[in-house]
């Protein structure tokens, strides 16, 4: 913002005259009543709707005679007609200072106009603040949707890891049980060969059953990758996300998980998209 003071360092023209006073005296010597003529012209122009010209005539009049209370009062009315209520109130006060009493209805009209201006200004400020808050809320909602998508993907990955660790723990526990049984049997030392063979067969059978159980656990812990349902396809464009694609094809951004689940192999368990990548869009 420019705050430097304006310097009025121009050179004077060397005249000692008082311009406005001399003009007024010269007009009076010639018998010209300039203030009355200017007042009448301003009144006529105001009635014809030429408010700007009426205002200029009254300002010229007040330059010649600053104490003309009627001119101040008429200028106040012109300002009201132009919707300039603060200026109108100032002219009304000038008229009162010159001894001219203004109609109360005019002063009420000016006060009502000023209150309306204040109300409009306050309404604009409230609307602007509401727009800023709405924009902030939209940005926050967009951020929360993005975080929610990330957390859902993270939860899915953690669930798969927990299932893997559960299956691995079951295998380790079963292996330990078999080793303890073999060790105890070997330590007995007095069992017959046939008994040894029978026990070995029993241990082998138990191991086979255990292996089958472990395989079943692993299969249950690691669900088969979902087969992508048949449907239309969509080629990823620049700036696309799963939510944006869901909004475009379904009209609902919340269905992005349907697209993710149908393309787990192509997305490699993530949610990042590559330009040109072809996605299956389930029905």
Q: For the chain, what are the domain ranges?
A: 19-102, 149-221, 232-281
The tens digit of pLDDT for each residue in 198-221 reads 444 544 444 443 445 434 434 444
Q: Decide if pLDDT at 197 tops 70.
A: no
The dihedral region occupied by 236, where left means phi > 0, alpha psi between -120 and 50, and beta the remainder, is beta
CATH of domain 19-102: 1.25.40.10
Residue 242 confidence class, pLDDT cut points 50, 70, 90:
very high
Q: Decide if pLDDT at 141 tops 80.
A: yes
- Evaluate whether 113 touches 85 at the Cβ level (below 8 Å): yes
Could you tell me which residue, 1 or 120, shows the higher pLDDT?
120
Read off the pTM: 0.39
Architecture per CATH, 232-281: Roll (3.10)
Q: Residue 280's CB: how many other CB atoms inside 10 A?
A: 16
**Residue from 214, 231, 211 nearest 222 by CA:** 214
Residue 14 confidence class, pLDDT cut points 50, 70, 90:
low
Q: Average pLDDT of the chain?
A: 79
The residues that bridge with 100 in the sheet, in sequence order, are none
- Evaluate whether 88 touches 76 at the Cβ level (below 8 Å): yes
The tens digit of pLDDT for each residue in 96-137 reads 999 998 888 898 999 898 888 776 666 677 778 888 888 888
Q: Decide if pLDDT at 176 tops 90.
A: no
According to DSSP, residue 123 is labeled H
């Amino acid at each position: 913002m420019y705050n430097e003071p304006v310097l009025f360092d121009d050179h004077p023209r060397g005249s000692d005259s008082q311009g406005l006073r001399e003009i007024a005296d010269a007009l009076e010597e010639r018998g010209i009543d300039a203030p009355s003529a200017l007042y009448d012209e301003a009144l006529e122009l105001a009635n014809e709707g030429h408010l700007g010209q009426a205002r200029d005539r009254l300002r010229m009049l007040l330059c010649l005679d600053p104490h003309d209370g009627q001119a101040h009062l008429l200028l106040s009315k012109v300002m009201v007609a132009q919707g300039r209520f603060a200026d109108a109130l100032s002219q009304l006060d000038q008229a009162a200072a010159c001894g001219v009493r203004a109609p109360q209805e005019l002063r009420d009209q000016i006060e009502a106009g000023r209150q309306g201006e204040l109300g409009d200004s306050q309404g604009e400020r409230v609307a602007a603040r509401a727009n800023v808050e709405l924009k902030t809320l939209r940005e926050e909602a967009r951020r929360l949707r993005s975080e929610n998508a990330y957390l859902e993907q993270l939860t899915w990955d953690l669930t798969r890891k927990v299932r893997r660790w559960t299956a691995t723990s079951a295998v380790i526990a079963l292996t330990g049980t078999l080793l303890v049984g073999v060790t105890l049997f070997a330590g007995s030392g007095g069992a017959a060969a046939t008994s040894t063979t029978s026990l070995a067969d029993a241990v082998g059978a138990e191991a086979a059953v255990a292996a089958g159980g472990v395989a079943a656990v692993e299969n249950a812990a690691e669900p088969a990758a979902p087969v992508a349902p048949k449907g239309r396809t969509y080629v990823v464009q620049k700036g696309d996300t799963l939510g944006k694609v869901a909004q475009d094809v379904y009209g609902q951004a919340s269905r992005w998980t349907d697209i993710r689940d149908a393309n787990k192999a192509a997305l490699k368990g993530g949610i990042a998209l590559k330009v040109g990548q072809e996605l299956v869009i389930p029905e």
